[in-house]
Copies of this chain bind each other. A is one copy, B any other.
Amino acid sequence: MFLRKTYCTFKLSVLKGIVFVFGLNYTFKLNESVCCPSLCLADVSATVRGLQSIFQEQEMTENVHDSEGHGYLATFVGKNGRFAILRMHSHGLVTFDLQCLEGDDVAQVDNLLNALEKKLKALLDGNIQRIKRLPALMRGSDVDRYWPTADGRLMEYDIDEAVYEKDSAYQNIKILHSRQFGNMLILNGDVNLAESDLPYTQAIMGSGKEHYAGKEVLILGGGDGGILHEAVKLKPKMITMLVIDGCRKHMRKTCGNVLDNLKGDCYEILVQDCVPVLKKFAEQGRTFDYVINDLTAVPISTAPEEDSTWEFLRLILDLSIRVLRPGGKYFTQGNCVNLTDALSEYEKLLCRLSCKVDFSKEMVCVPSYMELYPF
């Protein structure tokens, strides 16, 4: 979602009082008995009158808008750039949104919300079915904390530092620091791997049930170095890794020192696009006991705009099967367990391969993903 992002050198202190917008969202839902349209108009008008004193105390100027028949709608401009929106829908939903700038008095803002809640409780005594106050959305902050899940749900991470950002020839690379997950690698806006995510690496290597000793292994992608770092411990004969961007500095808990050199005792890293190399291996008849594809997740949808990703996935799968020894194994990640259409499309694709394959899947909880993933 980032466009032409230059490396950001702002510090939070520079932003103080300027571009930080909180949105505090409040929702009141009323009982069915109050939601009956015949009761509504009287209720709304009494409630609005009852709330006016709070906004007057806060020196907020009211503007009532013509909602064209969609309930009561008013906005309030206050001091320090505060702006509020109060809506009362004709079937019993009241929403209140308050925008404040960074540097505003948080205690005062809390007081306003608490006073509003208290007054509404008194005015609608016994008729409130639910009150929900959501955490503030912070916008325009130097450190972006919102990274939705693959199935489009809003997630706020505990990110406290933007560690690194660069547009490589292939993708936008970000490293953000999460208080609990450590450094997180974000590629083109997708959370890829955090230092907490050993379970991801273990899962994509077969969850500890494989015997890598003496075997030949091909890793596609895996630029965070996690798979290579774990694999070398298992004494394979040789690991070949094909990667475009590597991250050797900021994810040391994941990669250890395996990315410091392109060659080690039992591994070689080729910094090349994997497609031509895979084609060359296939032509040469070079084969592997294990192929681990850590390039890209299953596309999030089966919509036409994902066609090229599916095409790439099919190509890689086909080439991987061609360089796999009989009895060899191919490991890859799926995508969020909720993307059922995309996952079943992927399974159909596995059934249509030129060479017959067996496959199995396992659901794994990857800490920083905040959703279950099949591997």
Contacts and interface: CB of A to CB of B under 8 A. Distances in A.
A67 B71 contact: no
Contacts of A32: 10
B5 A93 contact: no
Interface string A1-41: 11111101010000000110101010101011001000000
A207 interface: no
Contact of A134 (B10, B137, B151): B137
A152 B179 contact: no
Interface stretch (A140-148, A216-224, A273-281, A288-296): A140-148
A101 to B, nearest CB: 7
Interface string A109-143: 00000000000010000101111111101011000
A302 interface: no
A154 B135 CA distance: 6
A247 B67 CA distance: 46
A247 to B, nearest CB: 21
Number of copies: 2
Interface size class of A (residues with CB under 8 A): 35 or more
Contact of A1 (B81, B83, B131, B337): B131
A128 B179 contact: no
Output the residue of A68, A126, A133, A154 with the most chain B CB within 10 A.
Answer: A154
Contacts of A135: 148, 152-154
B126 A146 contact: no
10 contacts: A2-B130, A2-B132, A4-B129, A18-B89, A19-B29, A27-B139, A73-B83, A89-B140, A95-B99, A153-B157
Interface of A: 1-6, 8, 10, 18-19, 21, 23, 25, 27, 29, 31-32, 35, 61, 63, 65-68, 70-71, 73, 75, 77, 79-81, 83, 85, 87, 89-93, 95, 97, 99, 101, 121, 126, 128-135, 137, 139-140, 144-146, 148, 151-158, 179-181, 196, 199, 336-338, 365, 367, 370-372
